[in-house]
Structure 1
Amino acid sequence: MAAPPDASDVMEDVTVVERSLNDPDLFALLYDRYFKDLYRYLAARLGRDHVEDLVADAFLIAFNGRGGFDPERGTVRSWLYGIATNVVARHRRREGRRLNALSKVSAETPAEGHEERVISQLAAEASRPELVRGLKGLAQGDRDVVFLLVFGGLGYEEIATALDIPVGTVGSRVNRARKKLRKALGDVNPMRER
């Protein structure tokens, strides 16, 4: 999981965004700093196929929209995760097809990739088909919050910024997702308390 940046990094990120308006090459510093984090997040959401292209899309969107970045609304890190989540939204149909395919795989069939991380991080005792069906049954907003929490390593405030929703809504979505996943998994707690 990505560690939240400390105060000096946050200020530096804001400065990089502001200065990149006159010196676009400076934006590469943010790419270097956050590429791995966004890569992990997008790979967890969509699988590793084309993930480098999707991360590049997220950074291109950020680069093109850097003039609209408002440090009053949150950190650069949260802003980038919000953009990455929007990239996921554009690929939701593909994610749905992937979850459909996963739900048909038996629990005994070994699989490599992001599905294994979902299982180990969300519910060590759950079988994959049950977990996948549980994730698929979540409302998309609830699923976004779960993935930002688990794979992005974002806290509630950062998730709120990334999705442009109140912090209380984040808590409600986590609670609702936890209950639905617990039920789908036969009363196994799918997420550790934060």
Structure 2
Amino acid sequence: MDFLTFVSKTFDAWAWPLTVLAMVGWFRDELKAILLNIESFKAGGIEATVNRKIKAASELADELPPANGPEVAPPEYDDAPLQPEYTIIEAWKELEHFTNEYVELRGVRSESIRRKRIASTNELVAAGFTKAEADLYRELLQVRNLVVHERDPKVSAAQAKEYFELAYRLIGLIRVKTDIELGRRASD
């Protein structure tokens, strides 16, 4: 092999790797921003990320009506949870408890509530939830399901805190609804 053939073959072998490295260097900031938002990736399937679900839940929370009663303060949030997944699971348990309590108070009983203790969107609306509240509940449930059922959900402390705040915002609205319903029953 002569020198020109060697140079040509070397260039052919290194052309793609050098081009990729140049592109990565050129778009370094953009790629970094994209990669920081990716929590999981599934090739050949549907990608479901905690980050995207929490953002969707946050957008739904923006549609919630203000509480027609005293604001219910959430418990103190621990800024340094040992496991962010634990924060999400515990916030979900509280949300599920207050939701089921309210749904039962309103007399909405179905097979799904008796079996799974998780109300469907239609059951929540029938119990007096707004569509936005019911949608937020379902979105928070999906985040909880990702955290519980994914092998490695990779939840950050910031995501856990945002989930906590969204869940307790909805819990506050549910508690106000419960107080109104109890007050209505007491006056009847």
| TM-score in terms of structure 2 length | 0.28
Higher relative contact order (CA 8 A, sep 6+): 2
Q: Which has the greater radius of gyration?
A: 2
TM-score (norm 1): 0.27
